Chains A and B, each alone.
Chain A
Amino acid sequence: MNTNRRDFLTLTGLTSLSLALPRSLRANTTPPHVLVIGGGFGGATVAKYLKLWGGNIDVTLIDRDASHYACILSNLVVTGAIPISRIQLGYGNLKTKRGVNIVQGEALSVDPASKEVTVKIGNDFFAYAFDKLVLSPGIDFINPAGNYNSDLTPHAWKAGPQTLLLKNQLAAMAKKQTFVMTIPKSPYRCPPGPYERACSVADYLKRKKSGAKIIVLDANASIQAEPINFGNAFTKTYKDVLTYIPNAAVSEVDSSTKTIVTSQGTFKGAVLNVIPNQRAGQIVANAGLVNDPTGKWALVNPLNYASTLYPDIHILGDSQGTGQPKSGHMANSQAKVCADAIIRGFSGEAPDPSPVTSSACFSPITSKTASWLTASFQYDPVTKAMKRVEPSFAEAPRPTSDGMEQMFHWADNIFADSFS
Chain B
Amino acid sequence: MQTSSPPSHPTTLLRAANPRTLLALSAACAYHTLPAAPPPGQLLSSQCFQCHGTNGQPVSGFEGIGGENANEMHKELLEMSLRKPEGIMDLQIRAYTPAQLRLIANYLSTLPKTGETNDD
Q: Residues of A at under 8 Å CB distance from B?
A: 1, 3, 6-7, 9-11, 15-17, 19-25, 28-29, 31-33, 49, 52-58, 60, 97, 101-103, 105, 114, 118-119, 121-129, 329, 332-333, 336-337, 340, 343-344, 346-349, 352, 354-358, 360, 372, 374, 376-378, 389, 391-394, 396, 405-406, 408-410, 412-414, 416-417
* SS class, residues of chain B in contact with chain A: loop
- B19 cross-chain contacts in A, Cβ below 8 A: 16-17, 20
* SS class, residues of chain A in contact with chain B: mixed
Q: Which 5 A-B pairs have the closest CB atoms?
A: A409-B61, A376-B95, A412-B60, A24-B29, A15-B12
Which single member of B10, B25, B60, B95 contacts A356 (CB below 8 Å)? Answer: B95
Q: Is the CB of B13 within 8 A of A28?
A: no
- A57 cross-chain contacts in B, Cβ below 8 A: 34
Also in contact, A124 and B2, with CB within 8 A (given A31-B33, A360-B92, A414-B51): yes
- A378 cross-chain contacts in B, Cβ below 8 A: 95, 97
Also in contact, A33 and B10, with CB within 8 A (given A337-B43, A372-B88, A417-B54): yes
- Total B residues in contact with A, Cβ cutoff 8 Å: 62
- B46 cross-chain contacts in A, Cβ below 8 A: 49, 336
**Is B32 in the interface zone, CB < 8 Å from A?**
yes
Which single member of B31, B42, B50, B93 contacts A414 (CB below 8 Å)? Answer: B50
Q: Is the CB of B31 within 8 A of A346?
A: yes
Q: Is the CB of B94 within 8 A of A392?
A: yes
CB B92 to nearest CB in A, in angstroms, measures 6
Also in contact, A347 and B31, with CB within 8 A (given A17-B22, A105-B7, A340-B43): yes
Also in contact, A20 and B22, with CB within 8 A (given A356-B47, A413-B50): yes
Q: CB within 8 Å of A: which of B1-50?
A: 1-2, 4-15, 17-20, 22-23, 25-38, 42-44, 46-47, 49-50
Alpha-carbon distance A377/B30, docked complex (angstroms): 32
- A355 cross-chain contacts in B, Cβ below 8 A: 43
Alpha-carbon distance A102/B43, docked complex (angstroms): 25
Q: Is the CB of A19 within 8 A of B34?
A: no
Q: CB within 8 Å of A: which of B72-93?
A: 85, 88, 91-93
Q: Is the CB of A413 within 8 A of B52?
A: yes
CB A420 to nearest CB in B, in angstroms, measures 8
